[in-house]
Structure 1
Amino acid sequence: MREVLYGGRHPCARDSCRLYDTDAKQSAKSRVRVLNILAEGRTRLLAYHFAWPGIGHAAKQGDGFRYYPEEMTLIPLSPT
């Protein structure tokens, strides 16, 4: 997903990620299909390998997608 959201500027972009895909063309189509679904519904997504907070949503931008991290509010723990 990250290489789709960042337009191939991620270290795992294009050719290197294909090493892990059985069918690179189908894998790319699947990622775009899932991102379209997430973007259309503005569905929150959790991306473990994204920078903090790793929670946000994807949106269409041009012919690709953009990731918008969610603003995080830290809540202090009350003493027990």
Structure 2
Amino acid sequence: MMIGLILALSGWACAAIYLLLTGQAIGKAVTGANVSFLGDAAVSFATGLVNWAVLIYLGSLFGIRRPRLLRRKKN
């Protein structure tokens, strides 16, 4: 359970860091009028999303519940 908690918390922390990097790249694109930074923002956002999903999934293997976004719907 403790390993799952550490994995889940690190997933949320990494997601926050990548979200800040995405915001910084968007800010550079707006202030510098340079569109190439939007590609950097998209790559940073995608990397953060994949990193978050993988760490949350690994945490769920050790007993931590997944967020509603990642749960399967039971019919």
TM over 0.5: no
> If each structure's strand is expressed as a fraction of its own residues, which one has the higher value?
1
Interval of TM-score (by shorter of Structure 1 and Structure 2): 0.3 to 0.5
**Higher relative CO (CA 8 A, sep ≥ 6), structure 1 or 2?**
2
